[in-house]
Amino acid sequence: MKKKELKALVSLLEDSSVRPEIEQKIRELGTEIIPYLEEEWEATFDPGLQSYLEDIIHRLQLELLKERLLAWQQTESDNLLKGMWLVATYQYPDLALEKLQQDLEQLYYEVWLEHKPEGHYFDQIKFINSVMFSKLKFRGNTRNFHAPANSMINMVLETRKGNPISLSVVYMLIAQKLGMPVYGVNLPNMFILTYKTADEQFYINPFNRGLIFSREDIDSYITQINLAPRPIFYEPCSHTDIVIRSLRNLAIAFEKLDDHAKAEEVRELLALLE
C-alpha cells in the first residue's frame, strides 16, 4: 500500500464502530504500518484512542520480535550480542543493535589498553576483573536483584549493574574479543563462566567481581543444593541457552512486579526457543 493509503487506513481507527475490521487489516499489513500508528497516536487528543493504538503497536512489535528470535535461533545464534539485543527489544523496541555494538566496543577498548596477552591466564582474568569491577564499576544488582532492567543488556551497559547472566554476557563478549576461551555455564540458580582450553579449565563468577574457582567448588555447591552432578553444570552452554535463561529471568521479574501480562508474553517468546 502507498503512504497515503496507509495513513488513511489508520485514520479510520478514530471511528470505534469499524475498529475491529480495520485492526484486522492493519495486523495483516504487519510492522510496516507502525510509524503511521505512532503518527496517529501523536496527533490525537483522545486518551482512549491513544491506549488502543498503544496496544496495537505493542502486539505488532511482539510479533516482529517472535519472528526475529526464531530467525536468530535458526541462523544467527553464534551472535550472542544480537540475541541479548532481541531480549532487550521486548521492553525497548526502538533500541538499535548498532548502539550496543558501539558501547561494547568502548568497553573492550578500556580492557584492551591494560590487557597483556602474553601473561598467564590467571593474570589475564585479573586484568579484566580490575578494569570491569574496579575501574568501570560493574557490579551485581544485589539491592534490586529481580528488576527487569537486570536482564536488559542496554540497561546493564548504561547502569553498570546486572544479574549473573547479564554481567557474564558482557564479561564473556569482551574476553572472547580479546581472544580468550571464556564461555557461559548453566549452573542451577547461578550463572557463571568457564575458561576452558584442551589443557586447562577453571571458573569465573562475574556477579562476585570475577571470583576464580575450581571444579571442586562446583562439586561442593551441587552437593549443598542436593543435586546430582551433571555435565551441563561444568561445561560451556550454547548462546541459545543463555538467551532462554535471560528470558526466564525476565518472566520471573515481571511476575514479582505482578505484571502478569508481560510475564505471559515473555513465556510466549520462551516457548519459541524451547
Tens of pLDDT, residues 1-34: 567 777 777 777 777 777 788 777 777 777 777 8
Mean pLDDT, residues 231-256 taken together = 96
Residue 205 pLDDT exceeds 80: yes
Instruction: Say which residue, 67 or 48, is predicted with more confidence.
Output: 67
Share of the chain above pLDDT 70, in %: 98
CA–CA distance, 67 with 71 (Å, rounded to integer): 6
> Taking the model in full, what pTM does it have?
0.88
What is the residue whose three cell numbers read 569491577?
133
- Number of domains the chain contains: 2
Residues 203 and 240 in one domain: yes
CA–CA distance, 264 with 59 (Å, rounded to integer): 13
pLDDT score for 42: 81
What does the pLDDT look like over 153-179, one tens digit per residue? Answer: 999 999 999 999 999 999 999 999 999
CA–CA distance, 49 with 89 (Å, rounded to integer): 24
Residues 45 and 109 in one domain: no
Residue 212 pLDDT exceeds 90: yes
Residues 145 and 166 in one domain: yes
pLDDT score for 2: 65
Q: Read off the amino acid at residue 226.
A: N
Residues 199 and 229 in one domain: yes
Residue 87 pLDDT exceeds 60: yes
Residues 69 and 85 in one domain: no
Mean pLDDT, residues 84-92 taken together = 97
Residues 148 and 259 in one domain: yes
pLDDT score for 1: 56
Asked if 185 and 234 touch (Cβ cutoff 8 Å), the reply is yes
Mean pLDDT, residues 107-114 taken together = 90
Residue 71 pLDDT exceeds 90: yes
Determine the angle formed by the axes of helices 80-89 and 239-256, rounding to 10 degrees: 20
pLDDT score for 236: 96
Residues 147 and 216 in one domain: yes
If DSSP codes are grouped into helix, strand and coil, which group holds residue 211?
Answer: strand
CA–CA distance, 200 with 194 (Å, rounded to integer): 10
Share of the chain above pLDDT 90, in %: 71
Residues 22 and 51 in one domain: yes
User: Residue 65: which domain range?
Assistant: 3-76
If DSSP codes are grouped into helix, strand and coil, which group holds residue 205?
Answer: strand
Residue 126 pLDDT exceeds 80: yes
pLDDT score for 100: 96
Beta-bridge partners for 201: 196
Residues 201 and 92 in one domain: yes
Domain C-terminal end among 23, 44, 76: 76
Residues 127 and 241 in one domain: yes
Domain C-terminal end among 76, 103, 136: 76
Q: How many CA atoms lie within 13 A of 1 on its CB side?
A: 17
Residues 57 and 33 in one domain: yes
Domain C-terminal end among 76, 102, 125: 76
Residues 193 and 70 in one domain: no
Cell of 95: 533500541
